Every structure is written in structure tokens, then in C-alpha cells.
Amino acid sequence: MNLKSGLSIILLLSLFQFLFCDDINVTAEKTIDWEQGNVTIDITASSETAWTTPSSRYNMDNLISKRAPVLTAEIISDIPLDSLNTIGSAIRSNTSLYGDLLNLPDLVGKTFSTATEDRKSLTVRYNIPIYPHIARLFIDRQAADPLTIDLRYIATADFTGIIIYAGEKLPLQGTNREIYMKPSIFPKLYDENLTIVLDMSKVEPDYLKQWGTAGFTIDEKREYYGDRVGAFPLRTMAISVFGKNGTDLILPSTAVRRILSSEHNRQLLIEGRIMIIYSDLN
């Protein structure tokens, strides 16, 4: 064995020992910015003792990279897709998607890494856009299903979008409780008869990947919420929350009629031009 080969083996063994060292603890935390549609995941590797060489930081970074796929899949599994499903429950129903979930850290890459001054821990951040990176895993159609048409009402205005106020506690349908609506990746809308007005099947797939069925904001005082809902939106209030996950909204019949009676306004649903004002007090 030559000297170069011997050194390579020593370095490899050193790395192997580092990766499986008992005093290395790896943890993950997530934050969700629903308004920006982004999941931030911070993965931290920490040790009882400070690293002494530049290669130690590299090895710790490498350890995080190896753990990131599984940790990411675990930590985002509780994010609601809609009123019935979370990412985790949907993956359990279709396990073929798990591999795509594991690919998310490599797909987006590291945003940055930072070490503590005592050189005992290193944190690597991943920013994962919900749209399209997570949403696309659950979109399995090439076209939207037809919307219901309501001919009982003559629309008096063509709106540029729909804003739904749901920033206070609302009755949870079928219970005597009131809760705050929770954001989800594909929220649904119902009328007062619990007929679906909008779900992901009724939105064009390209718009689903771009921004889902509806956007979210906690800022109820803004006058303009961007191109998604435009300068002349229909404004309405949700009357209750629906579903096991508390993510879906029931709208008043008057608002539903104004939307479904107009071809122009139905197109707003097809393009997901909806903004939900919610509370972050969940």
C-alpha cells in the first residue's frame, strides 16, 4: 500500500467514525410562511466537544446532508393538505411519493450554514417553496373538472379575485366549538349546504402548481393584495370552518351565487384567484 492510499483510508475511517459518533445530536425545526408559501427547515448537528479542524465542520455538514432527506420528510409530514389529509397521511396512502419527498433537500439546495462561536454546533437551512415543490407531488391531473353553474342569479359585477375574511374564531361545522381556521396547501370552499364550491380538482393544474387553491395573509388592513386577487375583488366572510383538520371554509350563499352565476367569476376559481385572511393565533 502506498502512502497516498493509506492516507485516504485513514481519512475515510475518520469520517465514518465522525458520522456515527454517539455525541453528535442532529435535530430539525420548521417554520411555515403561508403568505410566501415557504417552509424553512433548520437542521442542527451539535456535539459535546468543539471541533478542532476545518475538516470537522465539513464532516458535520456532511452528516446533516445525509440526514436531511429523512428529517425533512418527518418534519413536514404534519402539514395539512386539506380538511382530511396531511402530507404524512397522503404519503402513507401513496408510498411511491416518499422518494420524491426525500429528494426535496437536494432539489432546493442549502440556503446557508452557520456555526456557533464555541464550534460545538452547525445549522444548515433549507427553504422549500410549497408551490411548486411540495404541491406538485399531489397533483395528478392534466385538466380541471367542471365547476357548478348557478343560473338562479344574475351577476352584477365581474371581479378580479376573491378575498375571504376568516381571521376570527368560527363555528366548527357539526360541533359546538369555535376554532381558528388553519392554513393548508389545498383548502376547500363549501356553500351553506356543504356542497363543494372549490377543491383542487376544479383548479387548472398549472395554477395549482403556481399557488394552490388559495393564498393566505394575516394582514386584513391591506387595500391591495397583489395580482392574484387584483384591484376589484369580491370580499366576503366565511361563516364556519369545516373538516377534521379545520382547514376548509363555508361561504354564505349570497357570495357563492355571485361567483357561480358568472362565467368570468367562475374563472377566478379555476385560476385559484382567492386570498384568505386568517389568524396566526393557532
Over 80: is that where the pLDDT of 11 sits?
no
How far apart are the C-alpha atoms of 89 and 101, rounded to whole Å? 13
Q: Would you say the C-alpha torsion 177, 279, 34, 241 has a positive or negative sign?
A: positive
pLDDT at 151: 67
Interhelix angle 3-19/54-75, rounded to 10 degrees, is 40
How far apart are the C-alpha atoms of 154 and 258, rounded to whole Å? 8
In this prediction, residues 204-217 reach a mean pLDDT of: 96
Residue matched to cell numbers 360541533? 175
Q: 266 is written with which cell numbers?
A: 367562475
Q: 87 is written with which cell numbers?
A: 402530507
Question: SS3 breakdown of the chain: % helix, strand, coil, rounded to 5?
Answer: 35, 25, 45
How far apart are the C-alpha atoms of 217 and 34, rounded to whole Å? 7
Residue-by-residue DSSP string for 138-167: G---SSPPPPP---SS------S-EEEEE-
pLDDT band at residue 7 using 50, 70 and 90 as cut-offs? very low
pLDDT at 149: 79
Phi and psi dihedrals of 27, rounded to 5? -130, 160
Sheet holding 121-129, edge to edge: 24-33, 38-47, 121-129, 112-115
Over 60: is that where the pLDDT of 6 sits?
no
- Cβ pair 221, 233 in contact under 8 A: no
pLDDT at 222: 85
pLDDT at 3: 35
Residues, the chain, total?
282
Over 70: is that where the pLDDT of 178 sits?
yes
pLDDT tens figures, 60-106 = 899 999 999 999 999 999 999 999 999 999 999 999 999 999 999 99
Over 90: is that where the pLDDT of 146 sits?
no
Domain chopping of the chain, boundaries: 3-137, 143-278
Question: Which of 48-57, 118-127, 202-211 is predicted with the least confidence, judged by mean pLDDT?
Answer: 48-57
Over 80: is that where the pLDDT of 31 sits?
yes
pLDDT at 251: 98
Higher pLDDT, 155 or 157: 157
**Helix extents (H) in 86-188:** 87-93, 98-102, 104-108
How far apart are the C-alpha atoms of 142 and 201, rounded to whole Å? 10
Sheet holding 248-250, edge to edge: 196-198, 189-190, 248-250, 240-242
Higher pLDDT, 266 or 57: 266
